[in-house]
Chains A and B, each alone.
Chain A
Amino acid sequence: NAGVTQTPKFQVLKTGQSMTLQCAQDMNHNYMYWYRQDPGMGLRLIHYSVGAGITDQGEVPNGYNVSRSTTEDFPLRLLSAAPSQTSVYFCASSYKGGSGNTIYFGEGSWLTVV
Chain B
Amino acid sequence: GENVEQHPSTLSVQEGDSAVIKCTYSDSASNYFPWYKQELGKRPQLIIDIRSNVGEKKDQRIAVTLNKTAKHFSLHITETQPEDSAVYFCAASRGNNDMRFGAGTRLTVKP
Number of A-B contacts (CB under 8 A): 63
Interface string of A92-114 (1 = CB under 8 A from B): 00101111111101111000000
Would you list which residues of chain B between 73 and 111 have a CB under 8 Å from chain A? 89, 93-97, 99-104
Q: Are B101 and A99 in contact (CB under 8 A)?
A: no
Interface stretch (choices B14-22, B37-45, B62-70): B37-45
With A40-B9, A107-B42 known as contacts, the answer to whether A99 contacts B103 (CB < 8 A) is no
On whether the beta carbons of B44 and A90 are closer than 8 Å, the reply is: yes
User: Do the beta carbons of B43 and A90 come within 8 Å of each other?
Assistant: yes
Output the least CB separation between A93 and chain B (Å). 10
Q: Which of A19-27, A41-49, A64-72 contacts B (4 or more CB under 8 A)?
A: A41-49
B44-A40 in contact (CB<8A): no
Residues of B within 8 A of A97 (CB): 95-97
Bound CA span A66–B45, Å: 24
Mark contacts of A19-60 with chain B using CB atoms, 8 A cut-off: 1 yes-contact digit, 0 otherwise. Answer: 000000000000101000000111111001010000010110
Q: Top 3 A-B pairs ranked by shortest CB distance? A: A99-B32, A42-B101, A105-B43
A50–B94 touching, CB < 8 Å: no
Given A43-B89, A58-B97, A106-B32 contact (CB < 8 Å): no
Query: Mind listing 9 A-B residue pairs with CB under 8 Å?
Result: A31-B96, A42-B6, A43-B89, A97-B96, A99-B32, A103-B99, A105-B43, A105-B45, A108-B43
What residues of B have a CB within 8 angstroms of the CB of A50 in the complex?
A: 97
CA–CA, A44 and B103, complex, Å: 10
Which residues of the other chain, A, contact B34 by a CB distance below 8 angstroms? 102-103
Residues of A within 8 A of B95 (CB): 97-99
A96 and chain B: residue at smallest CB distance: B96
| Contacting residues, chain B, for A100 (C-beta < 8 A) | 32, 49, 51
